[in-house]
Structure 1
Amino acid sequence: MADVPQPGLDRLVDFRSGPVLAGVVPDQNPLIAVTAAHLSAALGQSVVHLGYVDTSRYTVEELPDGTVHHAALDPDADAGDWHEVRSGLEIQIGEALAGSGVSWKLWYLAGRPDRSLTHLARALDASLIVVGSRSQIGMRRIRELAEGSIANHLAHHQHRPVLTVPVEAIDWKDARAPWRP
């Protein structure tokens, strides 16, 4: 079994040393991208990096600069579909970050979000990763309990800090605590 590099003082990341990387998805609350852009500006970074991981595609090759060659899981899928998704994301991000004073770069990735964002963070030498929280309502909450959140997977499988941006709040009286039966 190979040794996994562990977080420690020798691996501590100076927040001003590398860019901020945020995980984004289509039609996501713009709060995640805007928070990442504001954080980038506060840390003296002129560019915020935004990574979208298309889970309907798989990574064929990870390149050292963070880009990936990818292919559809479904061999009958329209090869141009991902271009439309990317274009839609670019419009969405452009609108969200207009006037922020920070430029941005979108990275189109494939496969598992936690692994893909970790690869990109390593390639960029990102200082931290920003992701949004999931909805606490209905089937999405059940799915998160079964699969775990991307933020949780990132926090346990790489050494960079992970900032989770809340996109939905629940009244304290309605929340079930995980330590209660």
Structure 2
Amino acid sequence: MTAEAPRGAVIVGVHPDQCVAVVLEAARLADALERPLVCAYVTEDSYLTEWDRADVREEASLHPADVASAEEGIARELAAAIATALAPSGGRPQPAWTLRILAGDPGKALARIGAELDARLLVVGTRGRGVEPALEEWLGGSVAAHLARDQVRPVVVVPTHGVIGERLAPPR
């Protein structure tokens, strides 16, 4: 994991229970584009950040001052899982990557960090199939759809339905 994220990075949205394939695809794209990788985790308890004034909201979203201890634990687990997923293997070196903790609505927070870092592109995964993912999408909408509709930079959506494999961290 590197200390800073240079401009032009590839940003991938990460969360507990996300398929590792999303991070691996983002790392492949970052490598092909010769860009660093930024893994962005939007804390689950921070949606109300969107109710703040625009100037306060942007700062709080991109650089949250108060992160609950449970969220810090999740971020540590995600960082360990990402490091394991991106570990060197088969002659492939570990890419340079950073984990950023964000706040607010996931689609809007990812768009804001994309603007802050002048991201080359944003990468997100699809939700799984079943009743719970369908209900979440119906209530909150799809992060991928929000980004694709409102974003000025390219958005890559990695399909994960039907992918049987490792998850970044157990769901909470």
User: What's the TM-score once normalised by structure 1's chain length?
Assistant: 0.72
**Runs of 5+ in structure 1 lacking a partner?**
1-16, 73-78, 171-181
What residue number does 2:152 align with? Answer: 159
8 Å Cα contact 1:128/1:161 also seen in 2 = yes
Matched, 1:44 2:34: yes
- Aligned twin of 1:12: none
Gaps of 5+ in 2: 1-6, 50-55, 164-172
Q: Deviations over 1:50-76 (max 9, x none)?
A: 10001202546534xx8412446xxxx
The answer to whether the Cα contact below 8 Å between 2:120 and 2:154 also exists between their aligned partners in 1 is yes
Match of residue 26 from structure 1: 16
Matched, 1:119 2:81: no
SS of equivalent to 1:36: helix
Task: Give the distance between the partners of 2:103 and 2:86, measured in 1 at CA.
Answer: 24
The one of 61, 64, 69 aligned to 2:64: 69
Give the deviation of 1:133 after TM superposition. 0.4
Contact 1:61 1:68 (C-alpha < 8 Å) held by counterparts: no
Counterpart of 2:162 in structure 1 is 169
User: Partner letter of residue 22 of structure 2?
Assistant: I
Scaled by the length of structure 2, what TM-score is found?
0.76
Partner Cα distance (1:18, 1:148) in 2: 27
Where does 1:54-133 land on structure 2 (aligned, <5 Å)? 54-57=43-46, 58-59=48-49, 62-63=58-59, 67-71=62-66, 79-99=68-88, 100-101=92-93, 102-133=95-126
1:134 aligns with 2:127: yes
Greater share of helix residues, 1 or 2? 2
More strand by share: 1
Query: What is the identity percentage for the equivalent residue pairs of Structure 1 and Structure 2?
Result: 35
Once superposed, what is the RMSD of the aligned Cα atoms?
2.3
Q: Whose radius of gyration is greater, 1 or 2? A: 1
In structure 2, the partner of 1:148 is 141
SS at match of 1:28: coil
